[in-house]
Amino acid sequence: MRITGEPFGSVDGTDVRRWTLERGGVRVRLLTYGGIVQSVATPDRDGVPGETVLGFPDLGGYLKRPEPYFGALVGRYANRIAGGVFTLDGRTHRLARNGGPHSLHGGERGFDKRVWDAEEVEGGVRLSRVSPDGEEGFPGRLEVSATYTLDEDGALRVAYRALTDAPTVVALTNHAYWDLGGEHELRVTAGYFTPKDGTGIPTGEIAPVGGTRLDFRTLRPAGVGIDDNFVLDAGAPDAAELYSPVTGRVVTVETSEPGLQVYADAMFSGIALETQHFPDSPNRPEFPSTVLRPGERYASETVYRFGTR
């Protein structure tokens, strides 16, 4: 296992560092700015290492084009909250409407646009910060961390933790765009999805994927035009698999989260596999809760396993 850190520019006078983790033939590069996964290099079927995520070679690229959320740690709430408003314990909270009429990925300056503290831990790096009460409209002082480690077999594990001093909502994810070499095939371990309206907000229905364009229960070409939340099968060994028949690379995703947002757009060659709670859960009591209260601990883990065939 090899872990190194180096300067990587600055944001508003705050230094940014890049950390490199290397193990089992996998190399991962992380930025303290936005908790960004800048690079994941893995071997193809011929043993030749190559890049598997989209990103920029320097900090300036991320500052100039923040909207794709390339590789970023997204929060305080991943995905959309309808109308930028939710009510918790009888109190209404108003958020920035930065995604059309809705709040998206934590607001105008979410976790993806903050510089995080970093410390080396066994097998990787822990990023942490304190999100103050009222940041982007969210209640409660939130102590949050994301620990990135490489297992002995080179699997990338991301462990999210958070504590609050007041009732709040929390939903974190990573927004890497995976590009394994083109012509992607996708499998999602989900028999259901959450239908949405024309602005991306769930209707509240839990609908079967059978007979729809979202039936990825067996591996098939991914295509484009996907921006949907899948309801993952409870107890399944994995959430999704992405495969490139061109390079032979495979990424298998495992998660403790109940949902997976798949985003595949013609603008980008990569596909985002965002492990998450469901969109707009703070306004949907029928969905799994995203409420965090004092004395509780938010804990979520996602693992990306790399292979070839």
Q: Which residues are catalytic?
A: 175, 274
Q: Evaluate whether 187 touches 217 at the Cβ level (below 8 Å).
A: yes
Q: Render 207-244 in DSSP notation, one character per residue.
A: EE-TTSTT--SS-EE--S-EEEEEEPPTT-S-SEEEE-
Q: What is the dihedral of CA 135, 136, 139, 145, to 10 degrees?
A: -60
Q: Evaluate whether 189 touches 67 at the Cβ level (below 8 Å).
A: no
Q: What is the spatial distance between Cα 96 and Cα 106, in angstroms, rounded to a whole number?
A: 8
Residue 166: alpha-carbon gap to chain centroid: 24
Contacts 24+ apart (CB under 8 A), 124-132: 124/3, 124/21, 124/148, 124/149, 124/150, 124/157, 125/3, 125/5, 125/19, 125/21, 125/30, 125/149, 127/30, 127/32, 127/35, 127/73, 131/75, 131/76
Q: What is the spatial distance between Cα 286 and Cα 59, in angstroms, rounded to a whole number?
A: 41
Q: What is the spatial distance between Cα 298 and Cα 211, in angstroms, rounded to a whole number?
A: 36
Look up residue 281 and give its two tokens.
Answer: 């859960």
Q: What is the spatial distance between Cα 161 and Cα 146, in angstroms, rounded to a whole number?
A: 6
Residues in the chain, overall count: 309
Q: Render 113-140 in DSSP notation, one character per residue.
A: GSBPEEEEETTEEEEEEEE-TTGGG--S
Q: What is the spatial distance between Cα 258 and Cα 272, in angstroms, rounded to a whole number?
A: 16
Nearest to 217 by CA among 197, 194, 240, 198: 240
